[in-house]
Amino acid sequence: MMKRIRIAECLQSEVPINECSIAGWVRTKRESKENIFIEINDGSCLANLQVVVGVGDSYFETAQRLHTGASVYIHGSLVASPAQGQKWELKPVVITVFGDADQSYPLQKKRHSFEFLREIAHLRPRTNTMGAIMRIRNQVSYAIHTFFQHKGFLYVHTPIITTSDCEGAGEMFQVTTLDLRNLPVVNGSIDYTQDFFGAKAALTVSGQLEGELLAMASGYIYTFGPTFRAENSNTTRHLSEFWMVEPEMAFATLQDDCSLAEEFLRFVFTWVLEKCKEDMQFFDERIKPGIIKNLELIVSSSFEIVTYTEAIEKLKQSRDSFEFPVHWGMDLQTEHERWLTEKYFKKPIIVIHYPKAIKAFYMKLNDDNNTVRAMDVLVPGVGEIIGGSEREDRYDVLIARMKEMELNPDDYWWYLDIRKFGSAPHAGFGLGFERAIQFITGMQNIRDVIPFPRTPGNARF
């Protein structure tokens, strides 16, 4: 590897650097009578490094021939910039062009729509927005691991391929090696014993079920992995492949779960405000004005905990009209979630005790026999970012719930065993990683906070 320093480091330097080498891609180039100004970005930070080549300098012609998009290695000296707008600039002694780009390079200086950029996702990482998103995703991942590691949670790895549907919602991508043109059939249905795993298999929608098994041995665990959902929702908040963080705690209740979620989110937001100042400034200026103030406010105030029933009452009393009429028993739609967080409480809220009929089978039934110990964290702008619960730890009740939801207990025998041998209260939640990034950055569409989004009809790149 060529000895070089990252542009982020250059720009933060306190002193001039005599011998300085950088490498990156040309963002823009402009010429005056005496100079050529080239802006180089290497992905290490939002800002570009300005390279100034004077008429008569040995690499003037090389610089003249350079196009936006070209990759270069430049050796020279970092000197104080006489012009406004930047502290440092680079005076080159050597310019090596690795690969030039021609006029057809799609990322010319003008601003492009997010829709257009999704069509060129292979080059999109070179834009300011996706560059900033990538750095924020990185820091948020780091914050997540730091938080759980400091609290003594074990990072565990749950399977991606599974034969059980965690959410019981039937939204799974099947995994098979059977010949689709010649399926083995017994008694009129497909014989999965002949499939690769000897059973019908799919990509997981959540690592929770196995996460619970591990928590019921290790105490505190968390997963952080990809999850897959074949729900046909073409919305700004749904991906078919997204990343989820799922902590699970043994000997814990719904209250512990809510406290953990709040502490966790506060930690992550604080981390980003501290570590991603330049990128957050960018989102504040270009994407959603006020986003930094908003995050600071959220970090410094406590979340509101409301029951589902209270939330429904507030919605019913509201003077605003909703597309989906409000009644007890309904699932909260995005418009309701947003009204509660943006208009009524004006901060993140945790909604608890949902009707059992609209939640997954594994949530602990309350004594009213009607609601479950669920908790969803809703935030302004995005709606639900966390879904969790205390788990049903009573064997008989869990079997009854499965039957009620038309799931076959035999398929979950191992999950049920945990309720037979040393069962205990336990709780956990799942944070949608991309929803969290959306909330932090203020980006409108979830497809723009992941480099290569998978959505119905699209798995390109």
Residues that bind ligand 4AD (CB under 6 A): 166-167, 206, 208, 229, 231, 238-239, 242, 244, 246, 384-389, 428-430, 432, 434-435
* 429, interface contact from Mg ion, ligand 4AD, none, CB < 5-8 Å by kind: ligand 4AD
Q: In whole angstroms, how close is the CB of 327 to ligand 4AD at the nearest point?
A: 22
Q: Given the complex with ligand 4AD, which of 342 and 384 has the nearer CB atom?
A: 384
- For tokens 């300011």, the residue is 128
Question: Residues 9, 47: contact at Cβ < 8 Å?
Answer: no
| Amino acid making up residue 410 | D
Q: In whole angstroms, how close is the CB of 91 to ligand 4AD at the nearest point?
A: 47
Q: In whole angstroms, how close is the CB of 171 to ligand 4AD at the nearest point?
A: 9
* 380, interface contact from ligand 4AD, Mg ion, none, CB < 5-8 Å by kind: none
Q: Given the complex with ligand 4AD, which of 131 and 432 has the nearer CB atom?
A: 432
Q: Given the complex with ligand 4AD, which of 68 and 206 has the nearer CB atom?
A: 206
The binding site for Mg ion (CB under 5 A) comprises: 387
* 69, interface contact from ligand 4AD, Mg ion, none, CB < 5-8 Å by kind: none
Rounded Cα distance, 286 and 219, in Å: 44
Q: Given the complex with ligand 4AD, which of 76 and 168 has the nearer CB atom?
A: 168
Q: Given the complex with ligand 4AD, which of 220 and 429 has the nearer CB atom?
A: 429
Q: Given the complex with ligand 4AD, which of 70 and 377 has the nearer CB atom?
A: 377
User: Which pair of tokens denotes residue 347?
Assistant: 């901060």
Closest CA to 387 of 229, 150, 157: 229
Q: Given the complex with ligand 4AD, which of 254 and 386 has the nearer CB atom?
A: 386
Q: In whole angstroms, how close is the CB of 192 to ligand 4AD at the nearest point?
A: 24
Q: In whole angstroms, how close is the CB of 388 to Mg ion at the nearest point?
A: 9
Q: In whole angstroms, how close is the CB of 211 to ligand 4AD at the nearest point?
A: 6
Q: In whole angstroms, how close is the CB of 246 to ligand 4AD at the nearest point?
A: 4
Q: Given the complex with Mg ion, which of 211 and 387 has the nearer CB atom?
A: 387
Q: Given the complex with ligand 4AD, which of 76 and 247 has the nearer CB atom?
A: 247
Q: In whole angstroms, how close is the CB of 223 to ligand 4AD at the nearest point?
A: 8
Q: In whole angstroms, how close is the CB of 249 to ligand 4AD at the nearest point?
A: 11
Positive or negative torsion for Cα 417, 422, 427, 428: negative
